[in-house]
Amino acid sequence: MKNTKLFKIHCDKIDKFKLKEASEILREGGTIAFPTETVYGLGANALDEKAVKKIFEAKGRPSDNPLIIHISKFEDVEKLCRDIPPIMKILANKFWPGPLTMIVKKSSQVPDVVTAGLDTVAIRLPSHPIAKILIEMAGIPVAAPSANLSGKPSTTSENHVIEDLMGRVNGIVCGGDSNVGVESTVLDITCSPPMILRPGGVTKEELEAEIGQVSVDPALLSGEDQSIITPKSPGMKYTHYSPKAEVIIIKGTIENISSKIKELQKQNEEQGLKVGIMTTEETKDMYKGDNVKSLGSRKDLNTIATNLFKVLREFDKEDIDIILAESYQEIGIGQAIMNRLTKAAGYNVVETGEKRS
């Protein structure tokens, strides 16, 4: 059991003195959770094998799932990758700092434990002011997966991180809520066209507007159980984002979705189960009961993304047995939302009638 130090930092008035202490812990081989614009990350010195191993231990993360290295300025990529593909600069100019992770060929300086033995490395320059200053002050590249216990929904607020990692890490920088709410887009730029291995904060449409055609890992497209197709991103094969409750996604037209949800709610409540409904502003009044939670308006998928993990975690706190979740259109950030939701549901999807166009 570690003595976890909490560093409370206000985003709009960053106390550099407090952050310095956290950055020193990182530099000296400790583990620090910190906010990023996507989700909270659990960081350690990426060039220190022993430090990186502590991340895997704290999260209970399988060692064959590689980590993303976080940097505070573009030049930091030089020592992490063998060469800098021209497309990396183009993408960095447009999307860094921000929720895009690029996969490139790794340099020999990056320990194998970070990349799980792969010859590629994932790199991201986050835009969150606390993350940027913390990494800059530490003066080292920071390996950081999402700051949750392995398998659980990612953490988008300091309270989530405290719930999962108190006593397991050296420090937690508490800096408010992450506003993107889903993790970064993982883009493999070692192939042509570049391939999305995980949809995230930067959308396929945004990438294509900048660099033309972008492909998507077939394992993501199927919407089927990935035990059938091996994904290129090792992390995508694990159980992920799973609350304690069983999650069922209901697809179809809004009308079909709501009548199916009401039917399933009735069936399950009759069996004595506690049912939670994950809905939207447009549809929340269609349901009755104490456990109806809206993620936001369907017209604003960014807000739906921001609230997704938060609401999954809230249902857990309320000991919900079954979460019935409405589905979303897989355009823009909707691709990331449906990817996370489908994994949270373990591919438990009910199709109702005709598919929505």
- Of residues 146 and 242, the one with the C-beta less far from Mg ion: 146
- Counting contacts by CB under 5 A, is residue 146 touching Mg ion? yes
Q: Which does 32 bind (CB under 5 to 8 A by kind): Mg ion, ligand TXA, none?
A: none
Neighbour tally for 274: CB within 10 Å: 16
Q: Could you give the CA distance from residue 351 to residue 322 in angstroms, rounded to a whole number?
A: 17
| Least CB distance to ligand TXA at residue 126 (A) | 6
Q: Which does 68 bind (CB under 5 to 8 A by kind): Mg ion, ligand TXA, none?
A: ligand TXA
- Which residues contribute to the site for ligand TXA (CB under 6 A)? 36, 38-39, 41, 65-68, 99, 101, 103, 115, 118, 120-122, 124, 126, 144-146, 183-184, 186, 197-198, 233-236
| Least CB distance to ligand TXA at residue 23 (A) | 17
| Least CB distance to ligand TXA at residue 55 (A) | 9
Angle of helix 334-344 versus helix 301-317 axis, rounded to 10: 20
| Least CB distance to ligand TXA at residue 144 (A) | 5
- Of residues 94 and 105, the one with the C-beta less far from ligand TXA: 105
Q: Of the candidates 254, 257, 244, which has an alpha carbon nearest to the alpha carbon of residue 324?
A: 257
Q: Of the candidates 262, 319, 252, which has an alpha carbon nearest to the alpha carbon of residue 285?
A: 262
Q: Which does 121 bind (CB under 5 to 8 A by kind): Mg ion, ligand TXA, none?
A: ligand TXA
Segment lying near Mg ion (by CB under 5 A), choices 144-152, 214-222, 254-262, 300-308: 144-152
| Least CB distance to ligand TXA at residue 195 (A) | 10
Asked if 311 and 296 touch (Cβ cutoff 8 Å), the reply is no
What burial class does residue 167 get, using C-beta atoms within 10 Å of its C-beta: 0-12 exposed, 13-18 middle, 19+ buried? exposed
What burial class does residue 265 get, using C-beta atoms within 10 Å of its C-beta: 0-12 exposed, 13-18 middle, 19+ buried? buried
Q: Could you give the CA distance from residue 245 to residue 240 in angstroms, rounded to a whole number?
A: 13
Q: Which does 38 bind (CB under 5 to 8 A by kind): ligand TXA, Mg ion, none?
A: ligand TXA
Q: Does residue 35 have a cis bond before it (omega within 30 degrees)?
A: no
Q: Which does 339 bind (CB under 5 to 8 A by kind): Mg ion, ligand TXA, none?
A: none
Q: Which of residues 58-117 bind Mg ion (CB under 5 A)?
A: none
Residue nearest to ligand TXA (CB): 235
| Least CB distance to Mg ion at residue 12 (A) | 27
Q: Which does 312 bind (CB under 5 to 8 A by kind): Mg ion, ligand TXA, none?
A: none
- Of residues 38 and 279, the one with the C-beta less far from ligand TXA: 38
Residue nearest to Mg ion (CB): 146
DSSP per-residue letters across 194-250:
-EEEE--SS-HHHHHHHHS--EE-HHHHS-S-TTSS--SSGGGGS--S--SSEEEEE
Q: Which does 243 bind (CB under 5 to 8 A by kind): Mg ion, ligand TXA, none?
A: none
186 beta partners: 101, 198
- Counting contacts by CB under 5 A, is residue 339 touching Mg ion? no
Q: Name the residues that contact Mg ion, by CB under 5 A.
A: 146
